Amino acid sequence: MEYDELLDRGIEATPEIEGDSTRFSIPDPSVRPEGHVTVYDNFPETVDALDRNPDHVFKFLQNELGTSGHIDEAGRARLTGDFNPRRVKETIESYADEYVLCPECGLPDTRLEREKGALMLRCEACGARSSTSG
């Protein structure tokens, strides 16, 4: 096969990327102090928007904020310590950059996959695969 034929075939097989990352929005964190704990009330809504496992998101929150905590029976994140909404929001945005948004096309149409023990981010929109730090 000639180069031009192979190139045309590759372009035809490449999926069209429609839309942009502006359709992806993460709700602002609703956090409140409760004694020595910060309660992240809308954590379930955030996890739904990210389309990720709550335990994975929560572990990232704990690591980045340098704290411990747990997810209560209502699905709220309870973090030991006092954290303001801005800091929690920045942490969730960091999570989205690392584990949700495709580094190639910027779309949120991704899935986390294990490949030879490494956690990979696979984009269903453009087909890109990239490694993550997790």
Please check whether residue 54 lies inside any domain of the structure: yes
Whether residue 36 sits in one domain with residue 84: yes
Please check whether residue 4 lies inside any domain of the structure: no
Please check whether residue 16 lies inside any domain of the structure: no
Whether residue 44 sits in one domain with residue 79: yes
Query: Residue 94 maps to which CATH number?
Result: 3.30.70.3150
Range of the domain at 130: 104-134
Please check whether residue 113 lies inside any domain of the structure: yes
Render pLDDT for 90-130 as a digit per residue (tens, 0 to 9): 999 999 999 999 998 889 999 999 888 889 999 988 888 99
Per the structure, how many domains does the chain have? 2
Q: Which one, of 80, 78, 81, 90, lies nearest residue 28 by Cα? A: 90
Render pLDDT for 3-13 as a digit per residue (tens, 0 to 9): 888 778 877 77
Structure pTM?
0.80
